[in-house]
Amino acid sequence: MSISSFGSLPNLISLLRLVLVPVIISMIVGNRWVAAFLVFVAAGISDAVDGWLANRFNLRTELGAYLDPLADKMLLISIYVALALSDTVPATIAILIVFRDLMIIAAFLVSWILGKPIKVHPLFVSKANTMAQIAFAALVLGAKAFGLQLGLWFDASLWIVAALTLASAGAYLWQWIRHMGL
């Protein structure tokens, strides 16, 4: 059996990550922090595995180019909304994260509708932002899971995530404004 037999494996892993979203959210809502933390870590590992498989064995597909970031966004947005609703993180950070993603989606849709589609190229600040959001969510879930205090590290990390989210939103907005010729 050749590796090409597994051509859809990265996409299936991304789909699994999407399926894990309501599972993790229900765990957070049910205050099952250890399980939520472990499933979130598994989702993070699955993201690394599907990317590695797609790149290492040239299993990249057009579907995967959309499915992987969609799974990541659904997971992160859902996690932050659930953490805000459980009073674990301030609602403002969830609002900021959701707003940034909705703004980016709206900009791409408007560009497409007006016949000026913009190519999706993740910016460095966006990659840093995603890494910070994942790390912060993992730290918060881990702290809740193992009964650790949300102290100074929490406040500093929260500010870093907020700053990177704003910087990423601004960078994408600036890129879109230039693309649209405003």
Tell me which of 4-8, 88-92, 133-137 is least confident. 4-8
d(CA 134, CA 164) in angstroms, rounded, equals: 12
**Is 15's pLDDT higher than 90?**
yes
d(CA 24, CA 94) in angstroms, rounded, equals: 16
Q: Rounded mean pLDDT of 90-105?
A: 96
Contact residues for 46 (Cβ-Cβ < 8 A; gap 6+)? 13, 14, 16, 17, 20
**pLDDT at 1 (0 to 100):** 47
| CA 81 to the chain's CA centroid | 12
Helix (H) or strand (E) holding 177: helix 152-180
- Classify domain 3-180 by CATH architecture: Up-down Bundle (1.20)
Distances (CA, A) of 93 to 24, 129, 131, 155, 166: 19, 13, 15, 12, 10
Quickly tell me which residue has 């100074």 as its tokens: 152
Residue 6 pLDDT class (50, 70, 90 cuts)? low
| CA 164 to the chain's CA centroid | 13
Average pLDDT, the chain: 93
Share of the chain above pLDDT 70, in %: 96
Question: In the chain, where are the structural domains located?
Answer: 3-180
For the segment 106-153, what is each residue's pLDDT rounded down to a tens digit? 999 999 999 999 987 789 999 999 999 999 999 999 999 999 998 899
**Is 7's pLDDT higher than 80?**
no
Q: Which amino acid is at 44?
A: G
This model's pTM is above 0.75: yes
Tell me which of 7-11, 20-24, 41-45, 144-148 is least confident. 7-11
**pLDDT at 97 (0 to 100):** 98
Whether the CA torsion 108, 110, 113, 115 is positive or negative: it is negative
